[in-house]
């Protein structure tokens, strides 16, 4: 248990440049530091935090669900572009939606559908190392393929961005998003089979906010006082270009994890943002390929400084029942957090967002007092806990990592099955099930199910060797107590090593074919993704 715990913590606390470049537990070949930009040495807080633009509809179109109804229609184009990640780094080539990374924020109203036409105008050659031995990325496939998934969206199967529904340069796909769900922050990103990790590193991601009347009634900070924070890590070459490691194995460059040497917020390294001494709402998304972060706010830039209290008001699928006071947030890849941070007692000073190993960004709090009429409500939206008795079925699903003779991951499977094996998870529409994830690896995996929202039931340590010998689950301790910020509606959940993590899900919404997968994108691209089918009632 002890060594497992240590490795777990090491993974959780975002790695330093040196270990990331070496690939701390991926056994990547060493990269000499001369090949990489030393991002830690970059000047801090010289670039203002960019705020992604708001996407504007190009007009109205008839709704596919009801042709008598006209709904907003957006056209979003994927393009290659160059952007500066830092004042002192030469421009970096990215791929982005509307030529920006993160892409424009799409704002929707709950209950008001919209259409997005996603067009691919990317180059025909990829600039990151494709592994043609991975399923779906064979050499006979076009190099640059895209398909857009709205993560957390309750979307019909034809618009959900099935990984094999990719399209190439000059093509587009029009997706219908009904927005029949509670106010929250979703995100759109690429999901092309076998190259999702590369398209993500290239920059294909953006926020999608759903608002509703309930949210309006809460009087939360808004306008300039609501700030999107899209966080991801990247490594760079000295010329400013993105660096993505390769395995060193001829013809099979896939690596099992990607950790960058620098953490970017809205596309900048070590940015600053000027704020007033008042409450702010931060819409945080971890869109990293593989990194979990241990995030805190503090009054000085050192990583051991005292962590300030902030409140989390929402998780992936909506508001929590009540604000949760906390001083540490551990978002995994794909997870979102809706936060309220109060700068009022820091007038004229600075506040830092940091992890345990590096500062991430700076908030410069102005000295002039302002009137803050926004509120931090005492309660939010009720989150009725789904009783276990509501479940008609429990599925035990293993998460495993199969290693080769060198101890290197060669394939990662869910429930022992490859992507192209017959569908095994076939819940009935509107039924409730418990999915019990048995993690046989020594990493945490953020597990995501498309289309649904769920609740976390528990995480409980079990005896791995007994399980491997007999297939029987023997618990070796009580369930860990869940933090209050994990008791809301979620769509992505951290499944810790050597534990069984259980979620309870109602398959509400559409019937059809979806996917569930690990949101560490290197894992997802190498078989840690399975189709599942919601069978009509």
In whole angstroms, the minimum distance from the beta carbon of 9 to ligand C2O comes to 25
Do residues 516 and 473 make contact, with C-beta atoms less than 8 angstroms apart? no
For the chain, the 3-state helix, strand and coil shares in percent, each to the nearest 5, are 10, 40, 50
Tokens of 350: 């600075």
Q: Cβ 64 to Cu ion, closest distance in Å?
A: 34
Q: Is 268 in the site for Cu ion (CB under 5 A)?
A: no
Cβ distance to ligand C2O smaller for residue 61 or 450: 450
Alpha helices in 400-526 (DSSP H): 464-470, 521-525
**Binding-residue pattern over the window 388 to 427 for Cu ion, x denoting contact by CB under 5 A:** ----------------------------------------
Applying CB under 6 A, the residues found at the interface with ligand C2O are: 149, 151, 189, 191, 334, 448, 450, 515, 517, 519
* Closest to ligand C2O by CB, 151 or 459: 151
φ, ψ at 356 (rounded to 5°): -75, -15
As measured in angstroms, the least distance from the Cβ of 145 to Cu ion is 22
> For Cu ion, which stretch binds (CB under 5 A), given 22-30, 324-332, 364-372, 512-520?
512-520
520: partner contacted, choices Cu ion, ligand C2O, none (Cβ within 5-8 A by kind): Cu ion
Q: How far is the CB of 150 from Cu ion (least distance, A)?
A: 21
Nearer to ligand C2O, 234 or 519 (CB): 519
Beta carbon nearer to ligand C2O, 86 or 519:
519
Given ligand C2O, Cu ion, none, residue 530, with its beta carbon under 5 to 8 Å by kind, binds: none
Binding partner at 518 among Cu ion, ligand C2O, none, C-beta below 5 to 8 Å by kind? Cu ion
d(CA 412, CA 161): 22
User: Quick one: 189 or 459, whose CB is closer to ligand C2O?
Assistant: 189
* Tokens describing residue 7: 């490795």
Phi-psi region of 503 (alpha: psi -120 to 50; beta: other; left: phi over 0): beta
Residue closer to ligand C2O by CB (options 161, 267) is 161
Question: How many angstroms separate the CA atoms of 355 and 329, rounded?
Answer: 9
Q: Is position 445 an interface residue for Cu ion (rule: CB under 5 A)?
A: yes
Of 11 and 287, which has the nearer Cβ to ligand C2O?
A: 287
Q: Which is nearer to ligand C2O, 21 or 285 (CB)?
A: 285
Which one of Cu ion, ligand C2O, none interacts with residue 149, CB within 5 to 8 A by kind? ligand C2O
Contacts of 397 by beta carbon, 8 Å cutoff, 6+ apart: 414, 415, 425, 435, 436, 437, 438
Q: Which does 126 bind (CB under 5 to 8 A by kind): ligand C2O, Cu ion, none?
A: none
Report the partner that residue 151 touches, choosing among ligand C2O, Cu ion, none (CB closer than 5 to 8 A by kind): ligand C2O
What are the C-alpha distances in Å from 307 to residues 295, 303, 341, 444, 510? Answer: 9, 9, 12, 24, 43
Per DSSP, helices labelled H in 187-296 are 196-202, 213-217
Q: Of 21 and 518, which has the nearer Cβ to ligand C2O?
A: 518
The answer to the question of residue 517 lying near Cu ion (CB under 5 A) is no
Q: Is 520 in the site for Cu ion (CB under 5 A)?
A: yes
Of 523, 441, 481, 510, which Cα lies nearest the Cα of 154? Answer: 510
Instruction: Tell me the closest approach of the beta carbon of residue 289 to ligand C2O, in angstroms.
Output: 11
Contacts of 496 (CB under 8 A, 6+ apart): 8, 439, 444, 459
With binding defined as CB under 5 A, does residue 12 bind Cu ion?
no
Give the Cα separation of 230 and 361 in Å (integer): 12
Identify whether the C-beta of residue 483 lies closer than 8 Å to the C-beta of residue 534. no
List CB contacts of 523: < 8 A, sequence separation 6 or more: 256, 290, 412, 445, 517
Among 324, 339, 518, 534, binds Cu ion (CB under 5 A): 518
Closest by CA to 356, choosing from 14, 4, 5, is 14
Give the binding site for Cu ion (CB under 5 A).
445, 518, 520, 523
């Amino acid at each position: 248990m002890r060594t497992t715990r240590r490795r777990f913590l090491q993974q959780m606390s975002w790695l330093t440049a040196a270990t990331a470049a070496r690939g701390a537990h991926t056994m990547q070949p060493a990269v000499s530091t001369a090949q990489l930009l030393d991002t830690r040495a970059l000047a801090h807080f010289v670039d203002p935090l960019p705020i992604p633009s708001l996407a504007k509809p190009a007009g109205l179109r008839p709704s596919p669900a009801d042709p008598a109804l006209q709904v907003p229609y957006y056209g979003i184009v994927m393009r290659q572009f160059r952007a500066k990640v830092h004042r002192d780094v030469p421009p970096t080539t990215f791929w982005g939606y509307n030529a920006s990374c993160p892409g424009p924020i799409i704002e929707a109203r709950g209950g008001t559908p919209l259409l997005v036409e996603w067009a691919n105008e990317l180059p025909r050659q990829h600039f990151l190392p494709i592994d043609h031995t991975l399923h779906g990325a064979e050499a006979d496939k076009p190099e640059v393929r895209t398909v857009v998934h709205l993560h957390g969206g309750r979307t019909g199967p034809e618009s959900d961005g099935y990984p094999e529904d990719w399209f190439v340069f000059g093509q587009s796909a029009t997706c219908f998003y009904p927005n029949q769900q509670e106010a929250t922050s979703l995100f759109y990103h690429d999901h092309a089979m076998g190259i999702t990790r590369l398209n993500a590193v290239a920059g294909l991601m953006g926020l999608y906010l759903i608002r509703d009347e309930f949210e309006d009634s809460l009087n939360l900070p808004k306008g300039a006082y609501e700030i999107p924070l899209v966080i991801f890590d990247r490594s760079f070459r000295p010329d400013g270009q993105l660096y993505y490691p390769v395995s060193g194995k001829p013809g099979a460059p896939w690596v099992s994890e990607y950790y960058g040497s620098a953490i970017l917020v809205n596309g900048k390294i070590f940015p600053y943002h000027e704020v007033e001494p008042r409450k702010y709402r931060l819409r945080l998304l971890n869109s990293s390929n593989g990194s979990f972060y241990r995030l805190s706010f503090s009054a000085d830039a050192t990583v051991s400084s005292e962590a300030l209290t902030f409140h989390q008001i929402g998780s992936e699928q909506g508001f929590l029942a009540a604000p949760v006071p906390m001083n540490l947030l551990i978002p995994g890849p794909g997870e979102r957090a809706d936060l309220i941070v109060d700068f009022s007692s820091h007038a004229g000073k600075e506040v830092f967002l940091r992890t345990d190993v590096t500062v991430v960004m700076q908030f410069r709090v102005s000295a002039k007092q302002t009137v803050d009429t926004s509120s931090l409500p005492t309660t939010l939206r009720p989150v009725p806990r789904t009783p276990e008795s509501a479940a008609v079925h429990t599925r035990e699903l293993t998460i495993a990592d199969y290693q080769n003779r060198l101890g290197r991951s060669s394939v990662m499977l869910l429930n022992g099955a490859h992507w192209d094996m017959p569908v095994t998870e076939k819940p009935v529409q509107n039924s409730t099930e418990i999915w019990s994830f048995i993690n046989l690896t020594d990493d945490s995996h953020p597990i995501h199910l498309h289309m649904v929202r769920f609740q976390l039931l528990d995480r409980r340590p079990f005896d791995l060797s007994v399980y491997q010998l007999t297939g029987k689950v023997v618990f070796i301790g009580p369930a860990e107590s869940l933090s209050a910020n994990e008791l809301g509606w979620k769509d992505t959940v951290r499944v810790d090593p050597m534990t069984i993590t259980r979620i309870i899900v109602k398959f509400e919404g559409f019937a059809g074919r979806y996917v569930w997968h690990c949101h560490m994108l290197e894992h997802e691209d190498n078989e840690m993704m399975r189709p599942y089918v919601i069978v009509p009632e």
